[in-house]
Structure 1
Amino acid sequence: MKQRICIIGCGWLGFPLAKSLVKKGHLVKGSTTSSEKISTLNSEGIEGFLVQVSSEGLLGAIENCLADCDVLVLNIPPGLRKNPEANYVKQMQHLLPYVEVSAVKHVVFISSTSVYDDDESMPIISETSPTSTSANSAKQLLSVEALFQNNSSFKTTILRFSGLFGEDRHPATFLSGKTNLKHPDAPVNLIHQKDCISIIHTIIEQNIWNTVFNASTPSHPTRKNYYTSICEAKNLPLPSFDTAQISKGKIIDSTKLARVLGYEFKIKL
């Protein structure tokens, strides 16, 4: 069924998602923070809008971007690694009232498995596992998840992605040649861009709302083995790891997602 879908955040994930939804016959609107990208969105059949969300407020045509849309995919990364002082909660508090008064009835909120702590025991993490009570980024993400989950104006599904990678972006590239990398024995938790897009499609098509999913490729090799092998395959300088310190990590379990959506991951590690 053709739907009207708004994607707030047409970046590395949001833009190809928008293009794939257009190909499926949906009517898609999308936001960008770059005025130069509006024409790029429009040329792909995506109705583009300039929207900028900050802790000070919201600028741009947000009402028009949300107008007449039933589904909202909210894909604004917190950016807390680059800017630890950022107030992601305030950003989303500025956006929320516009969503409440719009036609939106269903929200896919893109979150992260960073809401779970790493541990020396390498725990298997499901959606019911304890979340972090100490990390600032995790606390902010969880607060925003709650803002949308507890809102009666629409139904929200939280999608907690592991580390994102794709044809043009692989963490091994950034780790290549680095020395003294920590946690060599920690499990890798990654998910390919193609799977991210397919999972969002499936949630929308199957009308799966008011729930939380972990989303991570089911295989979990160790950081040392995986990134060394990828660098070897790409003929990149190998990373080296600090094996003197005890590794901390976790294994993200996507069993619920596979079971509820009937989903099979397309890209293996």
Structure 2
Amino acid sequence: MKKQVSILGCGWLGLPLARHLLQNGWEVKGSTTSPEKIKALEIEGIDPFVIELLEDEIVGDVYSFLENSDLLIIDIPPGLRRDPNSDFIAKLKKLTEAISESKINKILYVSSTGVFQDHESIPTYTEHYKFTPIEVENSQLVHAEELLINLKKVQSSVIRFGGLIGNDRHPVKYLSGKTGIKNPEAPINLIHLDNCILLISEIIQQEKFGMVFHGVEDIKLSKEDYYTQKAKEFNLPIPEFGHETTSKGKHISMAWTSRILEVNLEKKL
């Protein structure tokens, strides 16, 4: 009997992840919020569903989407930058209600290093950082992790990725030519798509559930130095940084992740 996974969100990361899992013998159910993408998912060999989480309901047949899968990968953007007033937690709670009525017993939630705050002290955050009750209350990103990690009868792992790069996606293209960019001395916390898929695959294969992981590549350059270098490599106008205020930022450590998964990421940035 083939292994089956349900991937909620077959987008920029979810679709290539689905391809990878299909190549490795998994049956994949995948969701999109766009009906026009159904055919494209079918061509890939994915069993497609149109699923959209709303604050008061789930649009689409979420029960069929979860049926016969014991692993659910949640890879949907919270959308809080676009709509700060959106209640992402209410949406996730609707999903957990459906999960409780399914046979799902393992969850992998794709989160972000955005759960951590930037500071002038440039703190280092590890996988075992303990959020305060106030931090949980004030951040839907943190609250979402806590909600899924504490689900009963399900083992949930969280992987926090840095900024995502790959498939012609690179933030230097957005920053190129801009002036007065803040935080020139901040560290860089980025990861290539290929390394995202590698880490997720290892978590699944090794059955490392009930844990928190980090995914960032080791870049020993400041924000200013890194993007200046990348602009030259891409033959783009060099971004200009402002030094009027003290830089804020954070280091993201994935030392524990590397050790527990026995993985050393190839630098692709």
Answer whether contact 1:224 1:241 (CA < 8 A) is retained: yes
| Equivalent-residue separation in structure 1 for 2:147 and 2:137 (angstroms) | 15
- Report the residue type matching 1:251 in the other structure: H
Q: What is the CA-CA distance between 1:128 and the residue it aligns to?
A: 2.6
Q: Which moved more, 1:71-80 or 1:132-141?
A: 132-141
Within 5 A, what are the aligned runs for 1:11-50?
11-50=11-50
| TM-score of the pair, normalised by structure 2 | 0.95
Answer whether contact 1:219 1:268 (CA < 8 A) is retained: no
| Equivalent-residue separation in structure 2 for 1:101 and 1:6 (angstroms) | 15
- Report the residue type matching 1:8 in the other structure: L
Cα 1:166–1:136 change in 2 (3 A) is farther
Within 5 A, what are the aligned runs for 1:49-198?
49-131=49-131, 139-198=139-198
- Report the residue type matching 2:31 in the other structure: S
The DSSP-based 3-state class of the residue aligned with 2:185 is coil
Q: What is the CA-CA distance between 1:135 and the residue it aligns to?
A: 7.5
The DSSP-based 3-state class of the residue aligned with 2:78 is coil
Cα 1:55–1:208 change in 2 (3 A) is same
Q: What is the CA-CA distance between 1:141 and the residue it aligns to?
A: 1.5
Gapped runs of 5+ residues in structure 1? none
| Equivalent-residue separation in structure 2 for 1:77 and 1:132 (angstroms) | 24
Q: Specify the alignment match of 1:263 in structure 2.
A: 263
The DSSP-based 3-state class of the residue aligned with 2:51 is strand
Cα 1:168–1:132 change in 2 (3 A) is farther
The DSSP-based 3-state class of the residue aligned with 2:213 is strand
| Equivalent-residue separation in structure 2 for 1:138 and 1:234 (angstroms) | 39
Deviation by residue 1:6-54 (Cα, 9 ceiling, x = unmatched): 1000110101100111011111000000111111111111100010112
Cα 1:255–1:94 change in 2 (3 A) is same
Cα 1:136–1:243 change in 2 (3 A) is farther
| Equivalent-residue separation in structure 2 for 1:17 and 1:247 (angstroms) | 35
Q: What is the CA-CA distance between 1:178 and the residue it aligns to?
A: 0.9
Gapped runs of 5+ residues in structure 2? none
Greater than 6 Å deviation, 4+ residue runs: 132-138
Answer whether contact 1:80 1:137 (CA < 8 A) is retained: no
- Report the residue type matching 1:218 in the other structure: D
Across the two proteins, how many residue pairs are aligned to each other? Answer: 269
CA RMSD in angstroms comes to 1.8
Deviation by residue 1:173-213 (Cα, 9 ceiling, x = unmatched): 11111110000000000011111111111111000010111
Q: Specify the alignment match of 2:233 in structure 1.
A: 233
Deviation by residue 1:213-264 (Cα, 9 ceiling, x = unmatched): 1211122411100111111111111110001110011110000110000111
Percent of aligned positions that are identical:
38
Cα 1:66–1:112 change in 2 (3 A) is same
Cα 1:155–1:133 change in 2 (3 A) is closer
| Equivalent-residue separation in structure 1 for 2:57 and 2:183 (angstroms) | 39
Cα 1:169–1:259 change in 2 (3 A) is same
Q: Specify the alignment match of 1:223 in structure 2.
A: 223
Q: Which moved more, 1:247-256 or 1:218-227?
A: 218-227
| TM-score of the pair, normalised by structure 1 | 0.95
Answer whether contact 1:116 1:131 (CA < 8 A) is retained: no
Answer whether contact 1:29 1:47 (CA < 8 A) is retained: yes
| Equivalent-residue separation in structure 1 for 2:118 and 2:135 (angstroms) | 11
Q: Specify the alignment match of 2:208 in structure 1.
A: 208
The DSSP-based 3-state class of the residue aligned with 1:109 is strand
Cα 1:136–1:227 change in 2 (3 A) is farther
Answer whether contact 2:22 2:28 (CA < 8 A) is retained: yes
Q: What is the CA-CA distance between 1:129 and the residue it aligns to?
A: 2.9
Answer whether contact 1:68 1:103 (CA < 8 A) is retained: yes
Q: What is the CA-CA distance between 1:136 and the residue it aligns to?
A: 9.0
